A and B are shown apart, each in its own frame.
Chain A
Amino acid sequence: MAEYAANGETPEVLFWVGCAGSFDQRAQKITRAFTQILDKVGIKFAILGKEEMCTGDPARRAGNEFLFQMMAYNNIATLNGYGIKKVVTICPHCFNIFKNEYPALGGNYEVMHHTTFLQQLINDGKVKLKDGGAFKGKKITYHDSCYLGRGNGIYEAPREVLQAFDTELIEMKRCRSNGMCCGAGGAQMFKEEEPGATRINFERAEQALETGATIIAANCPFCTTMLTDGVKNKEKEDSVKVMDIAEMVAMSI
C-alpha cells in the first residue's frame, strides 16, 4: 500500500490478509491462491504489508477490550490515513470486525469477504472456471463459518461459487444457520479446550466425513486448520481434503 501511496495511485481494493493468512503456513496457501486469482483477473489490489496489525478480534472475544480498542485505533488510523474505501479479506473474523465493529470507532469501509468477492467475479464473467476442472464429479460438503453464516447471514454466496464447479454439493445435517462451530472462535484457537468428552473440531470433522464428501470446503483459515486436524484424527487425510474456496477456484482457472 505504501508503494501505491508513494506513486499517488489508488488501488481498486485493499486485501486485508489477516494474521492467519500472513503467518500460518497452511493459511498462507489460501492467501497466495486468492492473490493468484486477483492477479489473473487483473485487479489492482494492495496489501498493508508490515503495517497490517491484528484486528483485535481474539482479544475482544477473550474479554480484553483494552487491547482490542488499541488495535482498532491503530488499524483505523492506518486505513483512514491511506483513505481506504474498499476492503476484501479471506477471514470471516476480520470481515465481521470491519463490517460491524470498526464503524462505531470511526472506521467505515465497504468490506467484502473473499467468497462474496469470488461469487461476484464469477457472476460478472470475470472468472471463468475450466470445464471439467479438478473437482468434476467430486462430492463436496461445505462448512459454514460462524462469523460469515450466523454472524452476518452470508450462506448463499459461497454455495453459489461451489455450484459453479461441476460437482455435487452435499449438505451436512447441521448447515447454514444451524451450522456447527469448528471450535476455533471466541479465542479458543489460542488455548487448549476446556475438559470435555471430545474436541469440537473432531466432532465437526466427523459430521463432515459422514456426508461421504472427499472435499470439505471452508471459508475461514481457522476452520480450515481445525477441520484438517479433525480429519487427521479420523485418519482420513489421504482421501479427504479440507480446502478453502479460494484454493478451489485458483485450481480451476
Chain B
Amino acid sequence: MHLVQQILFIILAVTAIYLFSKKVIEMRRNILLGRDEDLNDNKGQRWKNMVLLALGQKKMFKRPTPAILHLFVYAGFIIINVEILEIFLDGALGMHRLFAPMLGGLYAFLIGFFEILAALVLIGCVIFLIRRNITKVKRLTMKELDGWPRNDANLILVTEVILMSLFLIMNTADQALQGQVGAEHYSTTDPFWITAHFKNIFSGLSVPALIAIERVCWWLHIIGVFAFLNYLPYSKHFHILLAFPNAYYSKLMPQGEMKNMPVIQNEVLYMMEPDKAPPTPTEPAEHKNFGAKDVTDLSWKNLLDAYSCTECGRCTSVCPANMTGKKLSPRKIMMDTRDRLEEVGNNINTNKEFKPDGKQLINDYITVEELRACTSCQACVEECPVMIDPLSIIIQLRRSLVMDDSNAPQEWNLMFGNIENNMAPWKFSSDDRDAWVNG
C-alpha cells in the first residue's frame, strides 16, 4: 500500500512540476517578445526596491486593512511552504512526518506555528471573500472584472480556504491517532497548538477510520497544492512570484520623467544638422512602428508588468479619468495587455511562429477613447503595490496613434500646428510672448 502511494505521489509530483515549468518557460518567452530595454543599472537600489516593495510590501500599507489581511495570507502562504517540503519528502520517500524524530520538541513548536498561520490565512481569505462578494468593495466589483477575473479571484480564495482546512483536519486526525494501537506509523509528538484542542471531535472513531481521514486529507491537500501551482500562471495570482522581479526592474527615474526616443531624437538632429547624419541612415531594423500598436512593440518590462498585475484595482480607484466616468481604467490596460500577450503566445504555440491574426492591442483590446482620457498624472504608477507602470503603455500606444496613424483629435492637431508655427500651444504670435511685461 505504501509503495503504491509512493509511486502515485512521484508520478503526480513530476507531472505537476513539468507542466508548471513548461508554462513558466512559455511566459518567459512571451515576455521576451517585447522590445529590449536595459534595466541592469544601479543594482543596489534595485535590490533594495525588491526587499522593501515585494518582500516588505511597503506600498500595501497605504491601505492598512487589506494590507494586514494580505500579510496574513502572504506570510502564511510562504512559511507554510516549509511544511510542504516535509509533506513532499514524506510522499516521495513513503515516510510519515519525517522531521518529527529529528527535531524533537521543536517539531511540535513549528507545526503549532504553521497551524496558527493556517488559521490566519483561513480568516484572511474568508474576509477577502466577504469584501469581494458581500460588502462589495468598489474597486473589487467593477464591471471590468466580470467573468473570468472575478471567478479567478474567488476560486483562489476558496481554494486557499479548502487547503488550509484540509491541513488542519489532517493534523487533528493525526493528533487523535498518536499513541493508538494500530497506528504505530504515526510518530508521537508534543501536542500541536491548535489541533490538539480539537482532537476530541474524532473521539468515537476507529483507528482505520481516522487513518482514512488523515490520508484523504493528506492526499487532497497535496493534490490541491500541485493543482494550485499549475493554476498560478493562468491567474492573477502569479504576482506572488513576479512581484519580485517586477520590483527589481521597476522604474528608478523620477515618475514625471518620460522615456526618451533616441530614434526620433537622432532624426530631428539630422534634420537640423545634416552634416551629423551618418552616410547611410541606419534603419531601426525590427520594429518599424514609432509607438506601440501591439504587445510586441512594447518593452519586455511592460509585458512583465502585465503578467504581474494583481487586478487589485488600486490604480483605477485613484485614476482621475476613471473616477469621473471616463472609459479609461489603468487596471484594464494591464489586463488587456496580458490577454493579448497570452493570445499571441498561444498563436505561437499552435503555429510555431506568430501567424498574423489581424488583431492588435490598440482597437481590438484598448480603444482610442480610453487612451485619450489619460492626464499622465501618474497616480496609477504611484499607487500600484507591485510597481507596475500603466502610464508607460498608454504613452507608447498614444505615440503610435499620433505618429504612425496621424490619429489625433482635431484640437490636438491644432495644438501641434500652433506649437510648430507660433511656438506655443495656442494661436498667439510669438512676438507677443513678452507682452505680459506691459500688463
Contact = CB atoms under 8 A, between A and B. Distances in A.
B377 A181 contact: yes
A28 B54 CA distance: 46
Interface string B408-422: 110110111001100
Nearest to B383: A178
B95 interface: no
Contacts of B26: none
B54 to A, nearest CB: 19
Given A28-B436, A63-B402, A150-B379, A190 B256 contact: no
Contacts of A62: 398, 402, 408, 412, 415-416
B264 interface: yes
A196 interface: yes
Contacts of A187: 412, 415
Interface stretch (A48-56, A121-129, A157-165, A240-248): A48-56
Interface stretch (B120-128, B225-233, B366-374): B366-374
Given A50-B434, A69-B265, A101-B258, A146 B377 contact: yes
Contacts of A22: 424, 428, 432-436
Given A67-B416, A203-B324, A186 B376 contact: yes
Contact of B321 (A23, A49, A50, A194): A194
A153 B254 contact: yes
B376 to A, nearest CB: 3
Interface in A11-30: 17, 19, 21-24, 28-29
Nearest to B423: A53
B402 A64 contact: yes
B256 A23 contact: no
A103 to B, nearest CB: 10
A50 B433 contact: yes
B430 interface: yes
Given A21-B436, A32-B439, A104-B260, A185 B430 contact: no
Contacts of B323: 180, 200, 203
A100 interface: yes
A54 B268 contact: no
Nearest to A77: B272
Contacts of A53: 423-424, 430
Contacts of B382: 150, 177-178
B373 A193 contact: yes
B401 interface: yes
Contacts of A189: 425
A61 B401 CA distance: 12
Interface residues of B, number: 67
B436 A17 contact: yes
A138 B410 CA distance: 43
Given A28-B436, A196-B326, A191 B258 contact: no
A49 B434 contact: yes
Nearest to A146: B377
B420 to A, nearest CB: 6
Interface string B375-405: 1111101110000000000010011111100
Nearest to A95: B256
Nearest to A104: B260
Which size class do A's interface residues fall under? 35 or more
B416 A64 contact: yes
B328 interface: yes
B384 to A, nearest CB: 12
A105 interface: yes
B426 interface: yes
B436 A151 contact: no
Given A22-B424, A191-B411, A200 B433 contact: no
Interface in B285-305: 290-291
A200 B320 contact: yes
Interface string B158-197: 0000000000000000000000000000000000000000
A197 interface: yes
Contacts of B430: 50, 53
Given A32-B436, A65-B264, A146-B375, A196 B321 contact: yes
A180 B434 contact: no
A184 B382 CA distance: 18
Contacts of B201: none
A149 to B, nearest CB: 9
A63 B400 contact: yes
Contact of A185 (B272, B375, B395): B375
Contacts of B257: 96, 100-101, 151
Given A63-B398, A197-B325, A100 B253 contact: yes
Nearest to A24: B426
B261 interface: yes
A56 B419 contact: yes
Contacts of B62: 178
B376 A194 contact: no
A200 B321 contact: yes
A188 interface: yes
A73 B373 contact: no
22 contacts: A22-B424, A29-B439, A32-B439, A52-B423, A54-B419, A54-B425, A58-B419, A59-B419, A63-B401, A66-B268, A67-B420, A70-B272, A100-B256, A100-B257, A105-B265, A185-B376, A186-B377, A189-B425, A190-B414, A200-B321, A200-B323, A203-B323
Per CB-CB distance, the 7 closest pairs between chain A and chain B, nearest first, are A151-B256, A197-B325, A186-B376, A63-B398, A196-B325, A63-B402, A181-B377
Interface of B: 62, 253-258, 260-261, 264-265, 267-269, 272, 290-291, 318, 320-321, 323-328, 369, 372-379, 381-383, 395, 398-403, 408-409, 411-412, 414-416, 419-420, 423-426, 428, 430-436, 439
Given A62-B415, A101-B258, 17 more contacts: A17-B433, A19-B425, A52-B433, A56-B419, A63-B402, A64-B403, A65-B399, A66-B268, A69-B264, A146-B378, A146-B379, A153-B254, A181-B375, A191-B409, A193-B324, A194-B372, A196-B325
Interface of A: 17, 19, 21-24, 28-29, 31-32, 47, 49-50, 52-54, 56, 58-67, 69-71, 73, 96, 99-101, 104-105, 146-147, 150-153, 174, 177-178, 180-181, 183-200, 202-204
